[in-house]
Amino acid sequence: MFTAPFAHHPRKLDLIRNFTPNWFTVTMGTGVFALLLAPLPGLRRVGEALWGGNAALFGVFVVLYAARWVMFPAEAVRIFRHPVMPMFLGAIPMALTTVVNGLVLYAHDYSLALPLWELTAALALAVALGVPFAMFTLQSHELEGMTAVWLLPVVACEVAAASAGLLAPHVDAATSLNLVVAGYALWAVSQPLALGILVILFLRLALHKLPPAEMGVSSWLAVGPLGMGTLCLVLLGHAAPPLFGPAAMGLGLIGGLGLWAFAGWWLLMAAAMTLTHIPRGLPFNLGWWAFTFPFGVFILATNALAATTGLGFFAVLGHGLTAIFAVLWTMVAARTLAGAYKGHLFFSPCLKMPAR
């Protein structure tokens, strides 16, 4: 296993030089945990504290990653030639979205949430265009090396779309209209691309079997765009009736149920693939945060269906899955803290690439 030269007492410059955007998956997973706790009696204050701490951690990560670009620009730009690391640029707007949603659910600060949402949407669109263009022009890929990580730059738009649906009911009518229209557009940018990538992923798994152990947990990422697609349609469906009529809610529910069931299939498959990996060895890395955000948005979608349909099945399932999520988050967070203290999680594979 790689051991960084600053393993036990990392020097600040080394930490900055090796800081990569996959660290934002930590704030994605922690942010979605805070959102899951918001509606639970007795745990709202815990969720609010977790959200506040996560927002502060996101700010620290932004400073560290920005410092890398300022202090080591020639090295930082190599990310666009790496076949995996640029995918994690999508984690930045998705992590910011959890901060925005917390402003809506906990702080009720809609005046701050709106400009931050606009920033999130702009970043998500930039990643959704820029990263695939880099894949097409700068990087080398093979079908066997493809994993569900390809979904990360695409699904960021969908995450912003769901946030638009959450924020829309709390602003004036004109702004709400803009948010709903933008939300549906962002969903349309993301969902078809994500479904296409899932088709390729199915083919890759059938032809080349499971991904390597260090990417074993990446299979959980396939759950994300489907769970988020469900949440988008349900939330936008609730926000849209004053603007587009009651049909929007019905279409959101029907489409959401279909995507939710598809997400459930991928969730069970991802769990089965992970259990298959465990006897062969499943080394810990930051990729383990894939256990959290995709699973978390599936639970949020389940809770949204429970509120919309009134069916007890969804409510019971949502509570049970939240308990499982808490165990997974605690495990991954503890191992991440230990790895950050020892230093070996601060590692930029882009530095191994030759400079041009």
3-state secondary structure of 79: helix
pLDDT for residue 3: 37
Given a cut of 60, whether residue 314 has pLDDT beyond it is yes
Question: Any residues with CB less than 8 A from the CB of 83 and at least 6 apart, and which?
Answer: 139, 140, 141, 145
- pLDDT tens-digit series, residues 7-51: 444 467 889 999 999 999 999 999 999 999 999 989 999 999 999
pLDDT band of 239, cuts 50, 70, 90: very high
Given a cut of 80, whether residue 82 has pLDDT beyond it is yes
Angle at the Cα of 155 from the Cα atoms of 63 and 119, rounded to 5 degrees: 45
CA–CA dist 94, 58 (Å, integer): 11
- pLDDT tens-digit series, residues 194-227: 999 999 999 999 999 999 999 999 999 999 999 9
Please give the domain boundaries of the chain with CATH numbers for all domains.
Answer: 12-352 (1.50.10.150)
**Alpha-carbon dihedral of residues 256, 106, 31, 340, nearest 10 degrees?**
180
Q: 60 with 30: CB under 8 angstroms?
A: no
- pLDDT tens-digit series, residues 269-291: 999 999 999 998 899 999 999 99
- pLDDT tens-digit series, residues 316-350: 999 999 999 999 999 999 999 999 998 889 989 98
